[in-house]
Structures are given as C-alpha cells and as structure tokens.
Amino acid sequence: MAYDPENIFAKILRGEIPNNTVYEDEHVLAFHDINPQAPVHVLVIPKGPYENMAVFGTEASAEEQAALVQGVAKVARLMEVEDPGFRIISNNGPDGIQEVPHLHIHVLGGRRLGGMLRRPSE
Ligand code: AMP
C-alpha cells in the first residue's frame, strides 16, 4: 500500500499540526500522545515516509533504523522510565489495530502496566 502523505503524523512532521515534542533529531521525532494510556505515553516516529515496521525494516537506511531505536532509548531516559521500566508497542496494519498509517513506537510507562494483550471483546 502506498504511503498516505495526508496522515496526521505526516502533517505533524510538516508542521501543519502542532505537537508536544519530547525529542527530535535528523531522523526521529518523539512527542506526547494526545490520548495518553499511561502517565508516560510518547510516540517515537521516523521522519521518513514509512507506513509500518515491515516497510521501515526493509526500505529505511541503516542510519534511519538505528536512529529510531536510539530515539526510543533517549525518550525512555528523558521521561525517566528507563529504570522502573517501560513498554514499547508498535501497532501494524488492521489486525494490529494501527490507526495512523505512519510507523510509530508507543513508549508507555510511569506505572505498572498490567498484562500485555487483551482480546478485542475485552
Ligand atoms: P495507533 O492506534 O497505534 O495507530 O496509535 C495512534 C496514536 O496516535 C493514538 O494513541 C492516538 O492517541 C495518537 N494520536 C492521534 N493523533 C495525535 C496527535 N495529533 N498528536 C499526538 N498523538 C496523536
């Protein structure tokens, strides 16, 4: 599927929609989720036009891939969840319940997060 340049994170990257930035570098932007599911809920996204991890993992440069992983680590440190711990989630595609078709890593923490998965009916 082709990348949709009108998705909301593409608009954030173009500065058309505001965001609450936590961290930014050449390849990565991290910002607070607008609907936080935990005391810490930050989204880490690549700046390139990658819809999901499958595309990013095959088409992004090694530098971009490394920067995303490093961005997650930097966010965990900046948000002070590195030591008590945190969870990263990336929803991909329809079964993954991905709402925004631009790759994003959720960084969640600030409390005990409970079990990892729930069934859709729960
Ligand atoms: P996903 O369901 O994994 O695609 O997650 C999309 C996430 O983007 C959700 O957690 C939303 O709350 C979040 N979100 C949507 N619009 C914005 C926005 N303008 N700024 C920050 N987070 C957003």
Contacts of 73 (CB under 8 A, 6+ apart): 82
CA of 55 to the centre of ligand 1 (A): 19
In a domain? residue 60: yes
Greatest extent of the chain over all pairs of C-alpha atoms, in Å:
40
In a domain? residue 116: no
* Six-digit token string for 107: 């960084």
Compute the distance between CA of residue 55 and CA of residue 65 in angstroms, rounded to an integer.
Answer: 11
CA of 100 to the centre of ligand 1 (A): 7
* pLDDT in the model for residue 16: 98
Average of pLDDT values for 87-112? Answer: 97
Domain CATH code at residue 90: 3.30.428.10
Q: Which domain holds residue 16?
A: 8-109
Cβ count within 10 A of residue 61: 10
In a domain? residue 114: no
What is the reported pTM? Answer: 0.96
In a domain? residue 56: yes
Domain count, the chain: 1
Q: Which of 19, 2, 31 shows the shortest CA–CA distance to 105?
A: 31
Report the Cα–Cα distance between both ends of the chain, in Å, rounded. Answer: 30
In a domain? residue 14: yes
C-alpha 109 chain-centroid distance: 14
pLDDT tens digit string along 45-91? 999 999 999 999 999 999 999 999 999 999 999 999 999 999 999 99
34 pLDDT higher than 80: yes
In a domain? residue 25: yes
The atom number, within ligand 1, closest to the CA of 91 reads 3
The atom number, within ligand 1, closest to the CA of 97 reads 2
122 pLDDT higher than 70: no
In a domain? residue 115: no
In a domain? residue 79: yes
Cβ atoms of 79 and 109 within 8 Å: the answer is: yes
Cβ atoms of 71 and 24 within 8 Å: the answer is: no
